[in-house]
Amino acid sequence: MDKVHDLVIVGSGPAGLSAAIYAQRARLDAVVLEKEYISGGQVVNTSEVDNYPGLPGMSGYELGMKLRAHADALEARFEMAEVKDIIIEETQNIVRTDQGDYTARAVIIATGARHRKLRVPGERELAGMGVSYCATCDGAFFKGRTVAVIGGGDVAVGDALFLARGCEKVYVIHRRDELRAARSMQEKLLALSNVEIIWDTVVEEICGEDQVEALRLKNQKTGDIRNLPIDGVFVAVGMDPNTDMVPASVDRDEKGYLVADENCVTNVKGIFAAGDVRTKTLRQIVTAAADGANAVESVQQYL
């Protein structure tokens, strides 16, 4: 069994990396557990981040690497391990992973969120065969082709902007008559001649034999059904928090996010929640990074 650490940080997105930096500066004995072979979380799959103060127009990958390099420069300890369960005890917590157990007096959960599924016929069957959840990862396969992006938030519009650079035609299919994304991104999108927004419309089915061939669409206002031929579909309909490994005793809101305010303190002693996984109004890189700092401050007060 590993020794008892001051702190285990679960996740290495902006919240986890920021927590690692603050924990090193506070001279805590901390270890960061990361599931993926690359740090940065969702950021590394973002084509361009244009709202992180001081670093305009930076690629998400580059920003992720910079955050990690900062933690490395302070000699933060990282281990690759997937957390399966957290056992909460009176004065310490046992973090169960596929690589063994870690014991820590405090745990910061910074596990972020994952892409929500559309849950329509064809989505699961054609995943990886034209159905994608990551435009920056898979967009290059659709150079010169016709694709659809589903959703109206920042991710959907960002994906559409990115795809429009290489694809012949990009449809954005949104269930309402107004986008949710930041106005500046909407303006960029509306200015592109190879982007068409299909309003008030939902996907009923993703059709194709071995490859995506078309979408069956339903107009919410008229009830009209039509088939839209496409080569690929990028689903960007929001996120669900990654909380499978978090004990049921930690309070969630109705959407499953861990209930904690700006100080990142949950209802369970010694368990802290930082970044996209916690209840908050604005899920951005800058707010996740702020959480990492606040969470470590709360951990220090707890210890």
Active-site pick, 6, 138, 159, 276: 138
264 in catalytic set: no
CA distance 148 to 172: 6
**Helices 14-25 & 60-73 angle (0-180, nearest 10):** 20
Smallest gap from residue 110 Cβ to ligand NAP (A) = 15
- N- to C-terminal Cα distance for the chain? 22
Smallest gap from residue 283 Cβ to ligand NAP (A) = 4
Instruction: Give the pair of three-digit tokens for residue 240.
Output: 């669900």
Smallest gap from residue 276 Cβ to ligand NAP (A) = 7
Active-site pick, 29, 50, 98, 137: 137
Contact status, residue 58 vs residue 5, Cβ threshold 8 Å: no
Displacement of CA 45 from its chain's centroid (Å): 9
Smallest gap from residue 183 Cβ to ligand NAP (A) = 12
Of 198 and 202, which has the nearer Cβ to ligand NAP?
202
CA distance 288 to 279: 11
Contact status, residue 294 vs residue 274, Cβ threshold 8 Å: yes
Of 154 and 291, which has the nearer Cβ to ligand NAP?
154
Of 4 and 134, which has the nearer Cβ to ligand NAP?
134
167 in catalytic set: no
Which stretches within 103-221 are classed as H helix? Answer: 135-138, 154-164, 183-190
Handedness of CA 176, 180, 183, 186 (dihedral sign): negative
Of 65 and 80, which has the nearer Cβ to ligand NAP?
65
Smallest gap from residue 253 Cβ to ligand NAP (A) = 14
Single-letter amino acid, residue 259: V
Binding residues for ligand NAP, per CB under 6 A?
51, 118, 150-156, 158, 175-176, 180, 202, 236-239, 283-284
Instruction: Give the pair of three-digit tokens for residue 294.
Output: 């606040």
**Helix, strand, coil tally for the chain in percent (to 5):** 25, 30, 45
Of 118 and 215, which has the nearer Cβ to ligand NAP?
118
Of 104 and 118, which has the nearer Cβ to ligand NAP?
118
Active-site pick, 2, 72, 134, 200: 134
For residue 38, what is the enclosing H or E element?
Answer: none
134 in catalytic set: yes
Smallest gap from residue 153 Cβ to ligand NAP (A) = 2
Region at 41 (left for phi over 0; alpha for psi -120 to 50; beta for the rest): left
User: Which positions are catalytic?
Assistant: 134, 137-138
